[in-house]
Amino acid sequence: MPELAKAYEPGLVEEKHYSNWLESGHYHADPESGKPPFSIVIPPPNVTGILTLGHVLNNTIQDILCRRARMKGFEVLWLPGTDHAGLATQTKVEKAVADEGTSKEELGREAFLEKVVEWKDKHGGIIIQQLKKLGCSCDWERERFTMDDEYYQSVIHAFISLYEKGYIYRGKRMVNWCPASMTAISDEEVIMTPQTGKLYTMKYEIVERPGAFLEIATTRPETLMGDTAVAVHPEDERYKEFVGLHCRRPFPEAKIPIIADDHLDPEFGTGVLKVTPAHDKADFEIGERHSLPLIDVITKDGTIDCPDVPELHGMERFKAREKAADLLEEMGLLIKKEKYKNNVGFSERGNVPIEPKISEQWFFKYPRVDEALRVVNEKQITFWPERWEKVYNHWLENIQDWCISRQIWWGHRIPIWYKGEEMKCQSESPGEGWEQDPDALDTWFSSWLWAYETMTSEVRNKFYPTSVLVTGPDIIFLWVARMIFAGLEFRPGQDETTQSNIPFKDVYFTGLIRDQRGRKLSKSLGNSPDPLELIAQHGADGLRFGMMRVAPQGLDIRYDEKQVEEGRNFCNKLWNACRFRQMQGTIDPQAQPQDHELSAYAHLALQELASTIDEIDTHYERYEFNQVAACLYSFVWGDFCSRFLEAAKADFGDPDSPTRSGTLATIDYILSQVLRLLHPYAPFMTEELWLELGFDSQTIQFASWPKADLTIFDPDEAKRAEDLYALVNAGRSLKGEFQIAGNQRVSFQLHTQSELKEKEREDLTRLLQAQSLNVVEHPPLKTPMIISPLGDLYLPLEGLVDVDKEKERLSKAINKVEQEIVREQKKLSNEQMLANAPEEKVTEWKQLYAEAKDKLAKLKTQFEQLSG
């Protein structure tokens, strides 16, 4: 067995193990397996995307769940894949094509799509390789892509089926138009963003009352040419008399009616609204109520389309806004321009303000809304944390039809065929003369089938519904809710019950990762670290452990590279603990501590291990990953390394120690458990140590998940160890207080009523790095003292004691004890408290009180001695 390196070097082991794991086919799920199923489908990243910290968090969690499930004896399917990301990918390729001096129109549909596929082949799949670097244990043989032939056909058939049931329809309605990407988008893809713009107040002359004007406030003078009415509130006394008359629209000049509508807020602006039914959602509704004509004055790419006003025609919409205001000013119709803050809807992808626009699109009306609400509210699907239920409910209760058509080419083409006035819905062309709808479907219309269309029926039989979905709350509507709809509507389960047709049983929502200033990580802000660089620097395990340690359930994370360093440090700590063990000789992989004589320290370590295992399991049940990490961290670093291994050195220094073999067995046993417990978080290092130390010749990945064993330690012995450690701490504290170097050999004296075994005395001497520790019959005089459960410890420092300093130290201690006494006294003198508090608490308080009293007396005696 080669000696372990002085520090853990992740770079040397990660690649080696990962390729071994892949070769041995560990992650290929067997639908025929007799083991119980555990399954997760990956939230498919964009095929041309690259790994972000968000992915790291999300996929580490999934990997942790999968690895633990394997160790617990489940047949695990983690189904990976990527999303074609229609609009995002097409936009990138359009840019690339533009750089080549051509355009998608010039190339035509077929040639352009070839370019997209080329692009996808070149840039696609990078993220898959990156996930492998992170250690993700996906079933890569089952990797899926939303544009795979089979998946493509499933999406088309889903459309056809919904069309036939009447849930999909075509309509000319107001949609969110993105002038940058030149497509309609869904409500969920519009981001409301606060903007500082201008509010223009202008005046329209009343046709029937020459010289009389209505003042109108607007943020969008460039749509003025599309105005087909002016509206006021029906109860607004200021304007009642004008309702039914007409205003003069300045350009192109026209007579438009003054109407009354309840939508108006008389308090806002002047209380008068210009109504542009073709370019505002609310105005459109007013227009419907009053049968107003629609005048579309903005083209698909956001330029003005109004030949009657040549000054504006063809102008970009925001330039036209200024220009229109100028024109009004020239005509003497602009009253004022003021700064104004409002919320403007931005296109998520195009990152420009959306343009509300009348457009003919395909819409989906959600079926089974009640059932979708029920499965979550009745916990057939459980949300973690629970509060996302409210968000889900709120969305469903106000659900709007989903605009599913996109004016893009890269995606699933809508299976609708036209011939003159005729229209047919089918996947293949009905024949000569039929033209297919040019549009493609919203990407989410394909990913909502992801939970089951990625599975063959054989796989589905075993693994659907999936066990848990791990995703960010930002796509709760876009993806999570819609997947629930898909499951309930298409019923891919084994029978008709709801239980068989929900897509997942649990949904774990991760937090969002932010930078130190609380901002979201984004490429444009440049605050998004490259996970690959972090892996190169600190190791995948360090990154994983570090992230998980600071990722509480459902809360956002403030990222700091320090956290990754801490993860790395932790890995190194355990590595070195193993290295230390290795120096003591060969490991016994089957070590059973109870077969040996154990030191009290070993009993305590085994007790701590048992409770750590229990705590970890409890935290897993609640998806408290940060708590699992905290348990591992504190057990390994604190209980195991700082206390037990240090105490163990006493055994290793003494070849005749009766507890030596027991200590070795205990270390081996604990390491074997700890490596397993840590494996889901740090797969690479634990595998390396597992194999290198010889715990098994086989991978750790299927080693059984530890169970707490309460029979291998004696709690009384463990308690003794606690007391011994307390004495060590007391001694170290004394040394520290007097600024004596840790390694300086001093002599301690212990005044105690209880018995101290010779072996214990020797161990303590060693742990205190002392010259000697002697039990004395009489307490020494004028000597620094500290109280511990095993007796009063004195540190005679001839000529070294600064009396004043020692008095100061004592009065500090006295002060502390006095505070404690006051606190306990207060409780014990409160009769109501004694009457109501549980008996065991009262006993505890009484004991604390007595102990404190005792301590105080001792400290005071000591103090007086010094003074006297």
Q: In the window 220-259, what residues touch RNA (CB under 7 A)?
A: 220
What's the closest the beta carbon of residue 296 comes to RNA, in angstroms? 17
The stretch among 172-180, 307-315, 392-400, 527-535 that binds RNA (CB under 7 A) is 392-400
Q: Taking CB under 7 A as the rule, does residue 576 contact RNA?
A: yes
Q: Which of 22, 833, 846, 849 binds RNA (CB under 7 A)?
A: 833
Is 583 a binder of RNA (CB under 7 A)?
Answer: yes
Residue ranges in 57-76 that form contacts with RNA under rule CB under 7 A? none
Contact with RNA (CB under 7 A) among 210, 310, 518, 655: 518
**Interface mask (CB under 7 A) for RNA, residues 369-388, using x and -?**
------------------x-
Rule CB under 7 A: choose which of 17, 132, 274, 462 binds RNA.
Answer: 274
Which amino acid, one-letter code, is at 447?
A: S
Rounded Cα gap, residues 848 and 119, in angstroms: 72
The dihedral formed by the CA atoms of 15, 16, 20 and 26, expressed in degrees to the nearest 10: -50
Our CB check for RNA shows the closer of 424 and 745 to be 745
| Closest by CA position to 437, among listed 445, 452, 427 | 427
Please tell me whether residue 568 binds RNA under the rule CB under 7 A: yes
Does position 282 interact with RNA (CB under 7 A)? The reply is yes
Tokens for 258, please give them: 């003054």
Contact flag: residue 729 with RNA (CB under 7 A):
yes
Q: Which is nearer to RNA, 267 or 755 (CB)?
A: 267
The single residue among 437, 560, 588, 723 that binds RNA, judged by CB under 7 A, is 560
| Beta carbons within 8 Å of 416's beta carbon, 6+ residues apart | 163, 170, 362, 423, 424, 425, 436, 437
- Residue 74-113 contact track with RNA, rule CB under 7 A, x = bound: ----------------------------------------
**Going along 106-253, which residue ranges are E strands?**
144-145, 168-178, 183-185, 190-206, 213-218, 229-232, 246-249
Map residues 785-824 to x or -, x wherever contact with RNA holds by CB under 7 A: ---------------------------x-------x--x-
One-letter amino acid of 679: H
> Contact between 544 and RNA (CB under 7 A)?
no
Of the candidate residues 207, 254, 358, 641, the single one contacting RNA (CB under 7 A): 641
Tokens at 368, concatenated: 């089974």
Shortest Å, Cβ 514 to RNA: 7
Is residue 726 a contact residue for RNA (CB under 7 A)?
Answer: no
Residues 188-227 that bind RNA (CB under 7 A): 188, 191-192, 217-220
Rounded to the nearest whole angstrom, what is the least distance from the CB of residue 829 to RNA in the complex? 10
| 133, 491, 573, 807: which one binds RNA (CB under 7 A) | 573
CA 516 to chain centre: 16
Question: How does DSSP assign 493-528, residue by residue?
Answer: SSSSSHHHHSSEEEEEEPPPEE-TTSPBP-TTTT--
3-state secondary structure of 564: helix
Binding of RNA at residue 447 (CB under 7 A)? Answer: no
Pairing of strands 466-471, 504-509: parallel
H/E segment holding residue 364: strand 355-364
**CA torsion, points 685, 39, 83, 26, in degrees to nearest 10?**
40
Query: At residue 710, what are phi and psi to the nearest 5 degrees?
Result: -90, 0
Rounded distance, CA 593 to CA 646, Å?
18
Binding residues among 743-762 for RNA as defined by CB under 7 A: 743
Q: Where are the beta strands (DSSP E) in 709-862?
A: 747-751, 772-775, 785-788, 791-794
3-state secondary structure 597-634: CCCHHHHHHHHHHHHHHHHHHHHHHCCCHHHHHHHHHH
Q: Minimum distance between the CB of residue 582 and RNA, rounded to whole angstroms?
A: 8
Contact track, RNA, 658-697, x by CB under 7 A: ----------------------------------------
We find the least distance from the C-beta atom of residue 620 to RNA, in angstroms, to be 14
Q: Output 416 or 645, the one with its CB closest to RNA.
A: 645
By CB under 7 A, residue 653 contacts RNA = yes
The SS3 of residue 369 is helix
Q: Is 350 exposed, middle or buried (0-12, 13-18, 19+ CB in 10 A)?
A: buried
- The correct pick among 28, 122, 240, 394 for binding RNA (CB under 7 A) is 394
Nearer to RNA, 501 or 572 (CB): 572
DSSP conformation class of 679 = T
395 interacts with RNA by CB under 7 A: yes
β-strands 772-775, 747-751: how paired? Answer: parallel
Distances in whole angstroms, Cα of residue 617 to Cα of each of 193, 299, 624, 625, 637: 43, 60, 10, 11, 19
In the numeric block, the tokens 């009354």 are attached to: 260
Q: What distance in Å separates the CA atoms of residue 759 and residue 663, rounded to the nearest whole number?
A: 14
The answer to whether 848 contacts RNA (rule: CB under 7 A) is yes
Which of 7, 98, 212, 857 is the binder for RNA (CB under 7 A)? 7
Considering the rule CB under 7 A, would residue 765 count as an interface residue with RNA?
Answer: no
* Segment 399 to 428, residues that bind RNA, using CB under 7 A: none
Among 12, 111, 423, 555, binds RNA (CB under 7 A): 555
Say if CB 244 and CB 211 are below 8 A apart.
Answer: no
In angstroms, give the least distance from the CB of 581 to RNA. 8
Distance CA 454, CA 83 (A): 12
Contact call for residue 366 and RNA (CB under 7 A)? no
Note whether 769 and 742 are within 8 A (CB): yes
Q: Which stretch binds RNA (CB under 7 A): 28-36, 310-318, 405-413, 554-562?
A: 554-562
Question: Binding to RNA by residue 342, rule CB under 7 A?
Answer: yes
Please choose, out of 123-131, 313-321, 620-628, 682-690, the segment that lies near RNA by the rule CB under 7 A: 620-628
830 binds RNA (CB under 7 A): yes
Q: Which of 117, 126, 260, 391 binds RNA (CB under 7 A)?
A: 391
Tell the smallest beta-carbon distance from residue 867 to RNA (Å): 22
Binding window for RNA (CB under 7 A); candidates: 5-13, 72-80, 93-101, 312-320: 5-13
398: contact with RNA by CB under 7 A: yes
* Three state DSSP letters for 113-149: HHHHHHHHHHHCCHHHHHHHHHCCCCCHHHCEECCCH
As a three-state string, the secondary structure of 390-435 is HHHHHHHHCCCCEECEECCCCCCECCEEEECCEEEECCCCCCCCCE
* Nearest residue (CB) to RNA, 260 versus 641: 641
Least separation, in Å, of the C-beta of 849 and RNA? 11
Which of 147, 229, 312, 577 touches RNA by CB under 7 A?
577
Contact in structure between 245 and 208 (CB atoms under 8 Å): yes
Whether residue 465 is preceded by a cis peptide bond, meaning omega within 30 degrees of 0, is yes
Closer CB to RNA, residue 9 or residue 316? 9
Number of residues counted as binding RNA (CB under 7 A): 96
